[in-house]
Amino acid sequence: DAGVIQSPRHEVTEMGQEVTLRCKPISGHNSLFWYRQTMMRGLELLIYFNNNVPIDDSGMPEDRFSAKMPNASFSTLKIQPSEPRDSAVYFCASSQQGARSYGYTFGSGTRLTVV
Amino acid sequence: AQKITQTQPGMFVQEKEAVTLDCTYDTSDQSYGLFWYKQPSSGEMIFLIYQGSYDEQNATEGRYSLNFQKARKSANLVISASQLGDSAMYFCAMRYYGQNFVFGPGTRLSVLP
């Protein structure tokens, strides 16, 4: 099992540009989560999907952020237009839905820097 | 709302000694899971240990053990025989049935040679 795969590992972009982060969850996991981590705010849940359907996107900061999960093996988080305050590490995690004993498996994260 | 508290922003421990990282939680649910994750300087989040709210015995995984006191709503992580590679951020988290995780703010552990 290759684990949760995120790409790219690092992204540096200019303010105003579109940024797309990608995630491949573990096969068989039916829940997928996008988190953002900053020093000031810690780990924040942005959005999560169950069976490819967005369940809770209340953590998405604003309309500039969007996430899709077109199938069980792929998800994207898009920021358009990007701003310097979006600089953070973005984690994708996957899990089995529901059972309290099922932990997350995190990807390695994407470190985004917006200049 | 459910909440996780980690009162130690930073901890130091001498190599080969044991250390306890505190975690308390606030919930009215009876069924939940408690987790600890390690985040080294490389940034990845590594699962360490799990404790179910109905588990009678404290969880152990190698040098990691979880001191679970349900009545006090605490789930402290104990690391025995600390190693230099244990230096990292440690996050306590809780999951409820059908819900996503709630994470604590983390504790930065530094192991001194």
Instruction: Cite the beta strand spans of chain B per DSSP E.
Output: 3-5, 10-14, 19-21, 24-26, 32-39, 46-52, 60-61, 64-69, 74-79, 88-96, 101-103, 107-112
pLDDT value at A1 more than 80: no
Range with lowest mean pLDDT among A105-114, B1-10, B57-66, B92-101: B92-101
| pLDDT value at residue B56 | 84
A52-61 confidence digits (pLDDT tens): 999 888 889 8
Q: Does B52 touch chain A (CB under 8 A)?
A: yes
Whether residue B100 and residue A89 make contact (CB cut-off 8 A), yes or no, is no
B31-73 confidence digits (pLDDT tens): 888 999 999 999 899 999 999 898 889 999 999 999 999 999 9
Whether residue A101 and residue B52 make contact (CB cut-off 8 A), yes or no, is yes
| pLDDT value at residue B111 | 97
Tell me the two tokens of residue A81: 């237009």
* A7 DSSP 8-state letter: E
| pLDDT value at residue B96 | 72
Whether residue B33 and residue A111 make contact (CB cut-off 8 A), yes or no, is no
Q: With bands split at pLDDT 50, 70 and 90, how would you rate the model's confidence at B30?
A: confident
Q: Does A10 touch chain B (CB under 8 A)?
A: no
Neighbouring C-alpha atoms within 13 Å toward the C-beta of B107: 27
Distance from CA of A42 to the nearest CA of B (A): 6
B71-108 confidence digits (pLDDT tens): 999 999 999 999 999 999 999 998 876 566 789 999 99
Neighbouring C-alpha atoms within 13 Å toward the C-beta of B53: 19
The bridge status of strand B88-96 relative to strand B32-39 is antiparallel
